[in-house]
Amino acid sequence: MSVSLPEKWDKEADVVVVGFGGAGAAAAITAHDLGAKVLMLEKAPAGEEGGNTRIAGQGYLQIYDVDKAIAYLNALCGRYPVPQEMVRAWAEEVRGNNDWVASIGGDPQEHQHQPEGIEFPELPGADCTHKFHHGDVLGYSNTWKFFEAAVKRRPIEILYESPGRELIQDGITKEILGVRAEQRGKPLHVKARKAVVLTCGGFENNQEMIRNYLPGLPYCYTSGTPHNDGDGIKMAQRVGADLWHMNNFAGPSMALKVPEYKSTFSMTPLHYTHEMPGGMIVVGPDANRFVNEKLKPKHGKIRRNGQWCQMPAPCPMFMVFDHALFTCGPLYDMKPVSGWGRIMERYEWSRDNSAELRRGWIKRAETVAGLAASLGLNPGALEESVRRWNRVCESGEDAEFGRSKMLIPIGRPPFYAIELSPSMLNTQGGPRRNEHGQIVRPDNTPILRLYSAGELGSIYSHLYQGTGNIGECLAFGRISARNAVAESPWDSRHAPAADEATP
């Protein structure tokens, strides 16, 4: 495929940043403060920019001890190792996160209950982890609001509803010269005199890529932004990028997804700390339980047979519960701490779950067999699963899955069910980058003038430490921006091959 050079450039900047989330903000601020003219392309409409960073838990990783951080990241990667020069670059730069946030006017505050936030305390170097956020209150988009304001205080042009579509590449040198974006259905050619930094997130909303790359999932939905469709991955592929970590993602968990809303609803009874006075199990399409429903997976990973692996998600899954649970309060917690649904879509779940019953999100039947029939499950198999669960509660021991919370039998009718889908926070894979933030080809040579940061090809290859994503956004946003600004402008050096550009 070839991308023709435009006859004229519609816009021009030294550094073009594609995607205005956390990584884009860090790259844009850094490049601007080093004296570059910066232009940002953002796919979402104004007010919906910010990507997953906007609705995240708002924590970012800070480390102080580089050697411990290197040991921890290597242990997290385990049998999916990452080049040591990358690991070191990551550690050394993450160490500077708080200083950088403070240098642009932020107020780094450490999360409370710090040791509980260390996801894999048994791994070497784990105590390097320090989780920070901006300001007094954790959550509620607060760290994002600070980054957004820091970008908007600067003379950085932001073009909304202007998705990057293709990279414009010199046909001979293979350097990246700019971006073909789209605005109101028309092409917009943006010249990048020094470099392009791709920060346009993962492929959480691209079901075809999910089927191709995420292991064992016929579909999966996100609790994050609806605007990340894997565009940056495709753009980078077309100019020859290698990919990495495509099978790793922060998930799955189990959540309700309905067509009327873009992101998933997490169900309160499944929350690991939340005890509710009613009977509940989750079954797969064979009507059998398959997991400890109250387990807290580590960003989708559970320990089985002595190793960490992805939580099973036999689709479709059903949360089956009794009248006691139905009547003990809303099954969805609307507090707008994090998540696209809670912060942006703001569906008002009814206090007695009746509206969701009327909408058909919750199914009801007088008998377990009747409920099974309405779900398309084998009635006898679901009855047997309920009987087995009730025996577990009587004995007080869940020998099969080790659940120890809400050991409450599924009691009096009517009975209810909610279909659950696999849900994720974000994908981790994308174009492979090197320690300079450059996107590289399969032979490890950099694609000149093309950089990246954030979850678009993150460093996390297997296990993931919470706050690591935004921590990496800030670190590689800065690394990529510094190196992008250090490039000399291509238009002062040579005239590009004017006939065509090829990957």
Ligand X SMILES: Cc1cc2nc3c(=O)[nH]c(=O)nc-3n(C[C@H](O)[C@H](O)[C@H](O)COP(=O)(O)OP(=O)(O)OC[C@H]3O[C@@H](n4cnc5c(N)ncnc54)[C@H](O)[C@@H]3O)c2cc1C
- The residue count for binding ligand X (CB under 6 A) is 46
Decide if 216 contacts 67 (C-beta within 8 A).
Answer: no
The residue behind tokens 């974000």 is 426
Our CB check for ligand X shows the closer of 220 and 377 to be 220
Our CB check for ligand X shows the closer of 338 and 483 to be 338
Our CB check for ligand X shows the closer of 279 and 300 to be 300
Q: How far is the CB of 382 from ligand X (least distance, A)?
A: 32
**Which range, of 114-122, 211-219, 224-232, 352-360, touches ligand X by CB under 6 A?**
224-232
Decide if 191 contacts 11 (C-beta within 8 A).
Answer: yes
339 binds ligand X (CB under 6 A): yes
Q: What distance separates the 2 farthest-apart alpha carbons in the chain?
A: 79
Q: Can you tell me the distance from the alpha carbon of 283 to that of 280, in angstroms, rounded to the nearest whole number? A: 10
Q: Can you tell me the distance from the alpha carbon of 312 to that of 191, in angstroms, rounded to the nearest whole number? A: 46
377 binds ligand X (CB under 6 A): no
51 binds ligand X (CB under 6 A): yes
**Which range, of 65-73, 97-105, 198-206, 237-245, touches ligand X by CB under 6 A?**
198-206
Token pair recorded at residue 393: 């509660």
Our CB check for ligand X shows the closer of 55 and 362 to be 55
Q: Can you tell me the distance from the alpha carbon of 133 to that of 150, in angstroms, rounded to the nearest whole number? A: 15
200 binds ligand X (CB under 6 A): yes
Our CB check for ligand X shows the closer of 44 and 459 to be 44
227 binds ligand X (CB under 6 A): yes
178 binds ligand X (CB under 6 A): no
What binding mask, one character per residue, do residues 453-492 give for ligand X by CB under 6 A, x or -? Answer: -xxx----------xxxxx-x-------------------
189 binds ligand X (CB under 6 A): no
Of the candidates 325, 240, 335, the one whose C-alpha atom is nearest the C-alpha of residue 3 is 240
Decide if 332 contacts 357 (C-beta within 8 A).
Answer: no
Within 284-313, the residues that bind ligand X by CB under 6 A are none
Residue of the chain from 30, 53, 129, 421 that contacts ligand X (CB under 6 A):
53
3-state secondary structure 219-280: CCEECCCCCCCCHHHHHHHHCCCCEECCCCECCCEEEECCCCCCCCEECHHHCCCCCCCCCE
Helix (H, G, I), strand (E, B) or coil at 344: helix
Kindly list the distances between the CA atom of residue 116 and the CA atoms of 59, 111, 120, 127, 142, in Å, as whole numbers in the listed order.
14, 10, 10, 11, 22
Question: Which H or E run includes 363?
Answer: strand 362-365
50 binds ligand X (CB under 6 A): yes
Q: How far is the CB of 201 from ligand X (least distance, A)?
A: 3
Conformation bin of residue 177: beta by default, left when phi > 0, alpha when psi is -120 to 50: alpha
Q: Can you tell me the distance from the alpha carbon of 276 to that of 406, in angstroms, rounded to the nearest whole number? A: 7
Our CB check for ligand X shows the closer of 53 and 438 to be 53
Residue of the chain from 11, 15, 30, 58 that contacts ligand X (CB under 6 A):
58
What binding mask, one character per residue, do residues 144-163 give for ligand X by CB under 6 A, x or -? Answer: -------------------x
Q: How far is the CB of 413 from ligand X (least distance, A)?
A: 35
Question: Footprint of ligand X on this chain (CB under 6 A)?
Answer: 18-24, 41-44, 49-53, 55-60, 163-164, 199-201, 223-225, 227-228, 231, 338-339, 425-426, 454-456, 467-471, 473
